[in-house]
Amino acid sequence: MQRIAILSDTHVPSRERAVPDWVVAELERADHVIHAGDFDSKGTCDRIELLAEGELTAVRGNTDPPTIEIPYIDTLEVDGVTFAVTHGSGSPNGWGRRVAEIARSSTSDDDPVAVAGHTHEVVDRTVEGVRVLNPGSATGAAPADRATMYVATVEDGTLSLDLRTD
């Protein structure tokens, strides 16, 4: 069984001072970390990569500086589950459809799980046949009303998901 910490929209230091201690603890316990963009600084990206002990799949968000050299879209396969990760930038209108389309076009898997951020809204729903996840903001950066993230477990192609909050 693999434990995966899924977070996004940390926005440190522009909107929040630091990643909360409880989020740090979840990252340290995870076998792999997925970050769906908007670290907001190279220092925050480097810290999360260090906490993930190199087991990080991360994508660039719309507020990330060019010094963060990561892709806009990435994929990860864990024990029979394929994650397609993107930030989901753009208008909130059609966000879910855009994210689902990116997931389908970025992997050959017929049943990918899309992970995105951008809206700071917690999402776990099926959009056009694709399970779309948004962990919200791990720091509670506005417009979120609280800090949230997902902790997933994957075993034999089955994904279980828990929402964590402060």
pLDDT for res 92:
87
Measuring CA to CA, how many Å separate 142 from each of 15, 122, 136, 147? 8, 13, 10, 10
User: Before 143, cis peptide (omega within 30)?
Assistant: yes
Domain holding 147, by residue range, is 2-165
Which residue stretches of the chain are H helix?
A: 21-29, 42-51, 95-106
Per the structure, the count of domains in the chain is 1
pLDDT for res 38:
97
Q: 148 is written with which tokens?
A: 């949230």
Q: Tell me the whole-structure pTM to 2 decimals.
A: 0.97
| 17/19 Cα distance (integer angstroms) | 7
User: Before 13, cis peptide (omega within 30)?
Assistant: yes
Q: Which residues of the chain have pLDDT under 50?
A: none
Give the count of beta carbons closer than 10 Å to the beta carbon of residue 78: 21
The CATH number of the domain where 99 resides is what?
3.60.21.10
pLDDT for res 166:
83
Encode pLDDT of 38-80 as tens digits: 999 999 999 999 999 989 999 999 999 999 999 999 999 999 9
